[in-house]
Protein backbone atom coordinates (compact mmCIF):
# COMPACT_ATOMS: atom_id res chain seq x y z
CA UNK A 1 0.00 0.00 0.00
CA UNK A 2 1.45 3.32 -1.09
CA UNK A 3 1.85 5.85 1.72
CA UNK A 4 -0.92 8.46 1.26
CA UNK A 5 0.42 11.56 -0.47
CA UNK A 6 -0.80 15.08 -1.08
CA UNK A 7 -0.69 15.90 -4.79
CA UNK A 8 -1.48 19.28 -6.33
CA UNK A 9 -3.16 18.86 -9.72
CA UNK A 10 -3.56 21.85 -12.03
CA UNK A 11 -5.81 21.87 -15.09
CA UNK A 12 -4.89 24.44 -17.73
CA UNK A 13 -6.22 25.31 -21.17
CA UNK A 14 -4.45 22.74 -23.33
CA UNK A 15 -6.39 19.99 -25.04
CA UNK A 16 -6.52 16.80 -22.97
CA UNK A 17 -8.86 17.57 -20.09
CA UNK A 18 -9.73 13.86 -19.89
CA UNK A 19 -6.18 13.09 -18.78
CA UNK A 20 -6.43 15.47 -15.84
CA UNK A 21 -9.81 14.17 -14.68
CA UNK A 22 -8.72 10.55 -14.92
CA UNK A 23 -5.59 11.39 -12.92
CA UNK A 24 -7.72 12.98 -10.18
CA UNK A 25 -10.00 9.94 -10.15
CA UNK A 26 -7.05 7.56 -9.79
CA UNK A 27 -5.37 9.59 -7.05
CA UNK A 28 -8.55 9.82 -4.99
CA UNK A 29 -9.35 6.17 -5.59
CA UNK A 30 -5.92 5.21 -4.25
CA UNK A 31 -6.53 7.18 -1.04
CA UNK A 32 -4.36 10.21 -1.77
CA UNK A 33 -5.23 13.84 -1.08
CA UNK A 34 -5.67 16.15 -4.08
CA UNK A 35 -5.34 19.93 -4.09
CA UNK A 36 -6.97 21.02 -7.35
CA UNK A 37 -6.28 24.25 -9.23
CA UNK A 38 -7.66 25.24 -12.62
CA UNK A 39 -7.35 28.11 -15.06
CA UNK A 40 -10.10 30.13 -16.71
CA UNK A 41 -9.27 28.68 -20.11
CA UNK A 42 -9.53 25.18 -18.62
CA UNK A 43 -13.22 25.94 -18.12
CA UNK A 44 -13.60 26.56 -21.86
CA UNK A 45 -11.71 23.38 -22.76
CA UNK A 46 -13.80 21.30 -20.34
CA UNK A 47 -16.97 22.50 -22.04
CA UNK A 48 -15.63 22.02 -25.56
CA UNK A 49 -14.04 18.60 -25.09
CA UNK A 50 -16.25 16.97 -22.48
CA UNK A 51 -19.50 18.94 -22.38
CA UNK A 52 -18.60 19.60 -18.76
CA UNK A 53 -19.56 22.94 -17.23
CA UNK A 54 -16.59 23.55 -14.95
CA UNK A 55 -17.96 26.07 -12.43
CA UNK A 56 -16.11 29.28 -11.63
CA UNK A 57 -16.61 28.81 -7.87
CA UNK A 58 -14.06 26.46 -6.32
CA UNK A 59 -16.57 25.22 -3.72
CA UNK A 60 -18.92 24.02 -6.46
CA UNK A 61 -16.14 22.14 -8.24
CA UNK A 62 -15.05 20.56 -4.97
CA UNK A 63 -18.57 19.34 -4.20
CA UNK A 64 -19.19 18.06 -7.73
CA UNK A 65 -15.94 16.12 -8.13
CA UNK A 66 -16.01 14.79 -4.56
CA UNK A 67 -19.42 13.29 -5.29
CA UNK A 68 -18.42 12.01 -8.72
CA UNK A 69 -15.29 10.24 -7.50
CA UNK A 70 -16.47 9.26 -4.02
CA UNK A 71 -13.86 11.32 -2.19
CA UNK A 72 -13.75 11.22 1.59
CA UNK A 73 -14.38 14.50 3.45
CA UNK A 74 -11.35 16.76 3.01
CA UNK A 75 -9.66 14.42 0.53
CA UNK A 76 -10.24 16.82 -2.37
CA UNK A 77 -9.72 20.53 -1.90
CA UNK A 78 -10.20 23.02 -4.72
CA UNK A 79 -8.67 26.51 -4.70
CA UNK A 80 -9.37 29.59 -6.82
CA UNK A 81 -6.77 31.22 -9.03
CA UNK A 82 -6.21 34.10 -6.61
CA UNK A 83 -6.37 32.10 -3.36
CA UNK A 84 -3.01 33.31 -2.09
CA UNK A 85 -3.60 31.92 1.40
CA UNK A 86 -4.17 28.39 0.07
CA UNK A 87 -1.62 25.77 1.21
CA UNK A 88 0.05 25.36 -2.24
CA UNK A 89 1.05 29.03 -2.22
CA UNK A 90 3.68 28.63 0.51
CA UNK A 91 6.83 26.61 0.92
CA UNK A 92 5.86 26.14 4.57
CA UNK A 93 3.17 23.68 3.48
CA UNK A 94 4.16 22.17 0.12
CA UNK A 95 2.51 19.09 -1.38
CA UNK A 96 4.48 15.92 -1.96
CA UNK A 97 4.28 16.55 -5.70
CA UNK A 98 2.48 18.58 -8.34
CA UNK A 99 1.16 17.70 -11.80
CA UNK A 100 0.02 20.21 -14.42
CA UNK A 101 -2.18 18.15 -16.72
CA UNK A 102 -2.86 19.22 -19.37
CA UNK A 103 -0.22 21.96 -19.54
CA UNK A 104 -0.29 24.76 -22.11
CA UNK A 105 2.92 26.04 -23.64
CA UNK A 106 2.16 29.47 -22.20
CA UNK A 107 1.83 28.03 -18.71
CA UNK A 108 5.01 26.01 -19.17
CA UNK A 109 6.85 29.17 -20.24
CA UNK A 110 5.59 31.08 -17.20
CA UNK A 111 6.71 28.30 -14.86
CA UNK A 112 10.10 28.13 -16.57
CA UNK A 113 10.60 31.82 -15.93
CA UNK A 114 9.22 31.98 -12.38
CA UNK A 115 6.36 34.32 -13.24
CA UNK A 116 4.04 33.31 -10.34
CA UNK A 117 1.18 35.44 -11.65
CA UNK A 118 -1.56 33.20 -10.24
CA UNK A 119 -1.87 30.29 -7.84
CA UNK A 120 -1.01 27.64 -10.45
CA UNK A 121 2.29 29.32 -11.31
CA UNK A 122 3.07 30.11 -7.67
CA UNK A 123 2.34 26.52 -6.64
CA UNK A 124 4.71 25.23 -9.32
CA UNK A 125 7.36 27.72 -8.21
CA UNK A 126 6.99 26.47 -4.63
CA UNK A 127 7.35 22.83 -5.68
CA UNK A 128 10.54 23.61 -7.64
CA UNK A 129 12.15 25.67 -4.90
CA UNK A 130 11.28 23.11 -2.25
CA UNK A 131 12.77 20.28 -4.28
CA UNK A 132 9.51 18.37 -4.71
CA UNK A 133 8.42 16.46 -7.81
CA UNK A 134 6.85 18.55 -10.58
CA UNK A 135 5.36 16.83 -13.64
CA UNK A 136 4.22 18.88 -16.63
CA UNK A 137 2.04 17.16 -19.23
CA UNK A 138 2.08 19.27 -22.42
CA UNK A 139 -0.34 18.40 -25.22
CA UNK A 140 1.06 20.28 -28.18
CA UNK A 141 2.52 19.40 -31.56
CA UNK A 142 4.79 20.29 -33.16
CA UNK A 143 7.08 21.84 -30.56
CA UNK A 144 8.78 25.10 -31.54
CA UNK A 145 12.34 25.95 -30.57
CA UNK A 146 10.88 28.22 -27.87
CA UNK A 147 8.87 25.32 -26.42
CA UNK A 148 11.89 23.01 -26.48
CA UNK A 149 14.17 25.58 -24.86
CA UNK A 150 11.67 26.14 -22.04
CA UNK A 151 11.28 22.40 -21.53
CA UNK A 152 15.05 21.90 -21.47
CA UNK A 153 15.38 24.70 -18.91
CA UNK A 154 12.83 23.01 -16.66
CA UNK A 155 14.28 19.55 -17.18
CA UNK A 156 17.66 20.80 -16.00
CA UNK A 157 15.91 21.94 -12.80
CA UNK A 158 14.62 18.41 -12.25
CA UNK A 159 11.11 18.96 -13.63
CA UNK A 160 9.63 15.95 -15.42
CA UNK A 161 8.36 16.84 -18.90
CA UNK A 162 5.84 14.13 -19.79
CA UNK A 163 4.10 14.87 -23.10
CA UNK A 164 0.70 13.28 -23.55
CA UNK A 165 2.03 10.83 -26.14
CA UNK A 166 0.26 7.48 -25.82
CA UNK A 167 1.98 4.28 -26.93
CA UNK A 168 0.22 1.65 -28.99
CA UNK A 169 2.23 -1.47 -28.13
CA UNK A 170 -0.48 -2.26 -25.57
CA UNK A 171 -2.99 -2.42 -28.46
CA UNK A 172 -5.59 -0.02 -27.03
CA UNK A 173 -9.17 -0.74 -28.05
CA UNK A 174 -10.82 2.42 -26.69
CA UNK A 175 -10.19 6.07 -26.04
CA UNK A 176 -10.14 5.18 -22.32
CA UNK A 177 -7.21 2.84 -22.94
CA UNK A 178 -5.29 5.68 -24.59
CA UNK A 179 -6.07 8.01 -21.68
CA UNK A 180 -5.02 5.38 -19.14
CA UNK A 181 -1.66 4.89 -20.89
CA UNK A 182 -0.70 8.51 -20.26
CA UNK A 183 -2.14 8.61 -16.73
CA UNK A 184 -0.22 5.42 -15.89
CA UNK A 185 3.04 7.15 -16.88
CA UNK A 186 2.16 10.09 -14.62
CA UNK A 187 1.42 7.80 -11.68
CA UNK A 188 4.73 6.01 -12.29
CA UNK A 189 6.55 9.34 -11.99
CA UNK A 190 4.79 9.98 -8.68
CA UNK A 191 5.73 6.54 -7.39
CA UNK A 192 2.08 5.57 -7.03
CA UNK A 193 1.05 1.96 -7.62
CA UNK A 194 -1.68 1.32 -10.16
CA UNK A 195 -3.19 -1.38 -12.33
CA UNK A 196 -4.17 0.70 -15.34
CA UNK A 197 -2.25 -1.56 -17.71
CA UNK A 198 0.23 -4.45 -17.71
CA UNK A 199 3.91 -3.70 -17.18
CA UNK A 200 6.32 -4.35 -20.03
CA UNK A 201 6.96 -8.07 -20.18
CA UNK A 202 3.79 -8.89 -18.26
CA UNK A 203 0.68 -10.36 -19.86
CA UNK A 204 -2.01 -9.23 -17.35
- Rounded mean pLDDT, 178-201: 94
pTM for this prediction: 0.96
Residue 57 marked ligand-binding: no
Q: Do the domain assignments include residue 108?
A: yes
Asked whether the predicted pLDDT for residue 194 surpasses 90, the reply is yes
CATH of the domain at 89: 3.40.50.1950
Report the pLDDT value the prediction gives residue 202, as an integer from 0 to 100. 78
Assess if residue 196 is contained within a domain.
no
Q: What is the mean pLDDT of the chain?
A: 96
User: What distance separates the 2 farthest-apart alpha carbons in the chain?
Assistant: 48
Q: What is the mean pLDDT of residues 22-28?
A: 98
83 is in an annotated binding site: no
Q: Look at residue 1 and tell me whether its pLDDT is greater than 90.
A: no
> Would residue 203 count as lying in a domain?
no
Cβ(135)–Cβ(190) below 8 Å:
yes
pLDDT of residue 187: 97
Q: Is 171 annotated as a binding residue?
A: no
Residue 69 inside a domain? The answer is yes
Q: How many structural domains is the chain composed of?
A: 1
- Specify the higher pLDDT residue, 189 or 2: 189
59 belongs to a structural domain: yes
In a domain, 104, yes or no: yes
Of 98, 108, 73, the residue nearest 190 (C-alpha): 98
Residue 86 labeled ligand binder? no
| Averaged pLDDT for residues 140-158 | 98
Number of H helices and E strands in the chain, helices first, is 7, 6
For residue 203, name the pLDDT band (cuts at 50, 70, 90).
low
Residue 204 lies in a domain: no
Question: Is 49 strand, coil or helix?
Answer: helix
Q: Is 22 annotated as a binding residue?
A: no
Contacts of residues 152-158 at CB distance under 8 Å and 24 or more positions apart, as own/partner, are 153/112, 154/108, 154/111, 154/112, 157/128, 158/128, 158/131, 158/134
Strand pairing partners for 138?
103
| 13 marked among binding-site residues | yes
Residue span of the structural domain in which 123 resides: 6-190
The 10 Å CB-count burial string (b at 16+, else e) for 46-77 is beeeeeeebbeebeebbeebbeebebeeebbb
Q: Does some domain include residue 91?
A: yes
Residue 107 counted as an annotated binding residue: no
Note the pLDDT tens digit of each residue in 57-112.
Answer: 999 999 999 999 999 999 999 999 999 999 999 999 999 999 999 999 999 999 99
Q: Which helix (H) or strand (E) holds 156?
A: helix 145-156
Amino acid sequence: MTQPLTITVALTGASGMAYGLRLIECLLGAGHTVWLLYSQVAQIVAQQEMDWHLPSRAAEVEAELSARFGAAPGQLRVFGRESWFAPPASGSNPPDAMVVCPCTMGRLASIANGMSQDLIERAADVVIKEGRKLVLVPRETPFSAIHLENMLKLSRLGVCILPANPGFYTRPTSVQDVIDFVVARILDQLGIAHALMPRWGETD
